[in-house]
Chain A
Amino acid sequence: MKLVDNNGRLFGKLSVIDVVVILVVAAMGAALYVKNNTLVHTSTSIQLDTITYQVQVNGVPQYVADAIRREDPLYEQDRSTGGSLGKIVSIETAPGTKIAELTDGSVELVPVEDGVNLLLTVEGKGIHKNGRYLLNRIYDLGVNAARTFYTPYAQFQGTVSAIEPVD
C-alpha cells in the first residue's frame, strides 16, 4: 500500500490536510492547558496567597508621614498597571535617620531634624512559589528591593525589609 495515494490520502484513508488540522487543533489545546494549569503567572487554577511584607521608609519629612494612613492601598511608581500591591495594615514610627557620608570618611546613619522613620506592614495577594513572591501574580518583590512607592495621597522611597506568606 502506498503511503499517500493519488487523492492525497495517507494510507488511502486520512487526508493530509485533515491531519494538519488535527495537529494544529491539538497544539492549540495543549497550549491552552499549559497556560491555564501549568504556568504560575497565567494559571486560573492557582489560589493566590496572602503575602505580608514590611517596607522601611527612612528620614521622610513629617508631612509625608502624616499623609500615609492605614488601609491606604500601596502602589509602585514605575509599575502601576498590575494594580495595588496590597493595603497598609500597620504603621510604626521612629525618629528619623538617614545615611550620610561624613567628611571624616565615615558613612553612617545619622538623625534627621523633622524627619521620621516609618515601618509599613502591607498585606497583599500574590503567588509564593520556588522562593519568589509575585504580588498580583506579576510583580516580583523581595527583601532589599528599593522602590518608589505611593499611596493615593503620598509618595516616598522605601526598602522591603521582610516578606512572608500568611498561613
Chain B
Amino acid sequence: MEKKSTFRLRLNLFDGIVLVLALAAAAFLLWRMAKPAPAEGPVSSASTVRYTVRFQRWIEGSDHMVNPGDQLVDNIKNNELGQVVSKQVLPAVSQQLDNQGRRYVLATADGFEDVLVTVEAPCVLNDDGFVLGSNFALRVGAMAYIRGEGYMASGPIISIEREGQA
C-alpha cells in the first residue's frame, strides 16, 4: 500500500511565539526604513564668505608680492582658501611680557610688517560655521598657514563678515 505523503504545518506554542516576535521585529525595521524623515531646514548650504587674515611678521617691503586675485591655499591640507580681494600693510606687532611693567604689551618688530589680507572664498555653511575646501574650519582666532603665489604666510583669522554685515 502506497504511503500517502501529506504536508501538515504544525506549530507548537514556542515556535509561534518566536515567529510572532520575528515578524514584529521585521515590521518595526520596515516601518523605520519607510517612514519619512522629519522636516528640517537645510543642514548645509553653499555660499561665499569674506574674511580677513593677518599675515604676521613679513620681511619689510615684501607685501608687494600679495596682489588682488591671488589664490590662497591651506599649506597643511591643501584646502582652497579663496582669492585675495585687498590688503593693508601695518607695523608688525607681537604680544610680549613686560616684566618691569608687569603687563603684556604689543611690541613692534623693527624690519618686519604685518599684512591684513581680505579674502573672498566659496564655502559651505553648516551648523558648525564656515568650511572652506573640504575641511578648513574658518573661525576668528584660529591660525591659518597659507601658501600664496610665490609666498608663504601664517597668522590668525581676525574677522569674518557676517550675513548682512558691511
Chain A interface residues toward B at CB < 8 A: 14-15, 18, 21-22, 25, 59-61, 63-64, 66-67, 73, 75, 80, 83-84, 98, 100, 102-104, 108, 110-115, 150-156
Which residue of B15, B104, B140 contacts A154 across the interface (Cβ within 8 Å)? B140
A61 to B143, CA, bound (A): 13
B50 interfacial by beta-carbon distance below 8 Å: no
Contact partner, A100, options B14, B104, B141, Cβ 8 Å: B104
Residues B111-166 near A (CB distance < 8 A):
127-130, 137, 139-142, 156, 158-160, 162
Distance between Cα atoms of A61 and B102 in the complex (Å) = 18
A selection of 5 A-B contacts at a CB cut-off of 8 Å is: A18-B15, A63-B140, A75-B128, A154-B140, A155-B142
CB of B35 closer than 8 Å to a CB of A: no
User: Considering residues A21, A66, A151, A154, which has the most beta carbons from chain B within 10 angstroms of its beta carbon?
Assistant: A154
Residue B103, interface by CB 8 Å: yes
Q: Which residues of B contact A111 (CB under 8 A)?
A: 103-104
Interface string of B5-17 (1 = CB under 8 A from A): 0000000101101
Q: A98 near B104 (CB under 8 angstroms)?
A: yes
**In this assembly, does B59 line the interface, its C-beta being within 8 Å of a C-beta of chain A?**
no
Chain A residues with Cβ under 8 A from B109's Cβ? none
How far apart are the CA atoms of A113 and B105 in the complex, in Å? Answer: 5
A135 to B129 CA separation, bound complex (whole angstroms): 20
A154 to B105, Cβ gap below 8 A? no
Instruction: Report A11 CB to chain B, min CB distance, Å.
Output: 15
Residues of A close to B160: CB separation below 8 A: 67, 153
B window 59-95: CB within 8 A of A: 95
Q: Are B95 and A112 in contact (CB under 8 A)?
A: yes
**Chain A residues near B159 (CB-CB < 8 A):** 63, 66-67
Chain B residues whose C-beta falls within 8 Å of the C-beta of A60 in the assembled complex: 141
Q: Is the CB of B106 within 8 A of A113?
A: yes
Known: A15-B14, A100-B97, A110-B104. 15 other contacts (CB 8 A): A60-B141, A61-B141, A61-B156, A63-B156, A64-B140, A98-B104, A102-B102, A103-B99, A110-B102, A112-B95, A112-B103, A112-B104, A113-B104, A152-B129, A153-B139
